[in-house]
Structure 1
């Protein structure tokens, strides 16, 4: 296939590198930073830099932050060849996908959003890698009227670049689940590093500290956009977490080891059950 990738950041750059390493697809791409385009050519992440002609592409991947992705699509969709499949890699779907779908339909295109569940501590093209998606979960979020052929095309690409579990779900369910599995974790990490002890942790921290703080380096512009577009789902998860934390706080304030032990045991049992369920799930 001929594939165009718009935006060569961490995800877009990694997508290009993975497609070139693991497939025979022809890949074109572009970025606002022309030095990055040159670097991508040098890295053989691209067959060519996009020349401005949208004709002849089987798939166009918009790898920009949500606000920028929607603006780009709205401004350029009329130039795309009819019936082209367009996707984005944003960590939000829901109402965002509905707006993207309307732009697509208004211009004779098909839109199906995807969300590769992959990332790194630091973003940008120079941190991108061909193996970013290997064994990563990969979400495809079509609508009820989306073409099954195009859903299968996206599944095939996900497999080709090494994705682990591929999940097909609705845009709304994507946002409900991502609020818990991703966005809440980013908020917790951001809040956790605000302790005055952060600057003194060297020599006292281990794997648990690294796990809890790794994603606090998130890009504030992108994640604010993601959080606000999924506000209701995220608020529900955040309020649930605060309620749970209050139980631990109360047990400590009341010097109540029995309640604290029960709370810890409940958490352990829930996680153990989750792990047993995951082991039984096919990829």
Structure 2
């Protein structure tokens, strides 16, 4: 492994994210252990050299990555935490942080292991081990939310570990800021995609659609169980973003209804300029 900091990696949950993490860590020359409730998934993981993560293995881990839904993460960690070494770094990979971090920090204090919140900014509209891949995180951002007093040297080791898995950057945040921004950049996009495909007009799309229709509806092909939990856990910030979007759409409708063509032009120009600015930031330009 390029960084040499962590060798034995455990992954709890071998779905799209957990399975991809396990495969990426294996390609980085780590010894990888996995645990999933689906025996067929465990067989498939074993076939590529991912070993079963038994209770006997847990104290030997350098890192334990949890890749379950928020509620399941806390429930499973209650069960596994007593078996961990106080030197095992636990990193959750949940898509929300405020619903997970307090419970994980309490377990960390109770059992003495270090804990770090995380969220890999990568994914697909598909789910499960069969769609996981080692290259899923290439160039992606890995968000980390260290708590107060978290060991800076251990944070640096974690950052190097994720960079060795293919991530292009490490973004440091805190649970509240994470959830506030994710409500826009991830969750609202899924809400809009769902609302868009639910238009009655969408039933007549055949022969009338091009790339923009597919772009707008791609993430509506979601895992409703997971996204219901994520939306619900972040409902305060997500509701604010939905209300804001509704107001902006209403502004467009008002301009059209009142015949304000110049105002419509100005609004579209402003949107184009904001998109160009955001693209520049993604390419490494200045804010």
Give the TM-score normalised by structure 1: 0.94
Name the structure 2 match of 1:3.
9
Counterparts of 1:197 and 1:157, CA distance in 2? 47
Runs of 4+ aligned residues of structure 1 deviating over 2 Å after TM superposition are 197-200, 273-282
Counterparts of 1:152 and 1:203, CA distance in 2? 52
Indicate which of 42, 48, 51 corresponds to 1:43: 48
- Please report the RMSD computed on the Cα atoms of aligned residues, expressed in angstroms: 1.5
Counterparts of 2:106 and 2:54, CA distance in 1? 26
Name the structure 1 match of 2:243.
239
Counterparts of 1:179 and 1:146, CA distance in 2? 26
Indicate which of 65, 68, 73 corresponds to 1:69: 73
Are positions 1:114 and 2:118 aligned together?
yes
- Tell me, yes or no, if the aligned pair for 1:14 and 1:130 is still in contact at 8 Å: yes
Are positions 1:198 and 2:192 aligned together?
no
Are positions 1:24 and 2:29 aligned together?
yes
State the 1:158 CA deviation.
1.4
Deviations along 1:84-131, whole A, 9 cap, x unmatched?
A: 210111100124212211111111111101111111111000010111
State the 1:135 CA deviation.
1.1
Counterparts of 2:137 and 2:273, CA distance in 1? 30
Are positions 1:58 and 2:62 aligned together?
yes
- Tell me, yes or no, if the aligned pair for 2:91 and 2:115 is still in contact at 8 Å: yes
Ranges in structure 1 where 5+ consecutive residues have no aligned partner: none
Are positions 1:89 and 2:93 aligned together?
yes
Counterparts of 1:144 and 1:89, CA distance in 2? 19
Report the secondary structure of 2:157's partner residue: helix
- Tell me, yes or no, if the aligned pair for 2:121 and 2:142 is still in contact at 8 Å: yes
**Structural mapping, 1:1-283, within 5 Å:** 1-21=7-27, 23-44=28-49, 46=50, 48-53=51-56, 54-281=58-285
State the 1:270 CA deviation.
1.5
Report the secondary structure of 1:273's partner residue: helix
State the 1:281 CA deviation.
4.6
Which range is displaced more, 222-231 or 56-65? Answer: 222-231
- Tell me, yes or no, if the aligned pair for 1:96 and 1:229 is still in contact at 8 Å: no
Ranges in structure 2 where 5+ consecutive residues have no aligned partner: 1-6
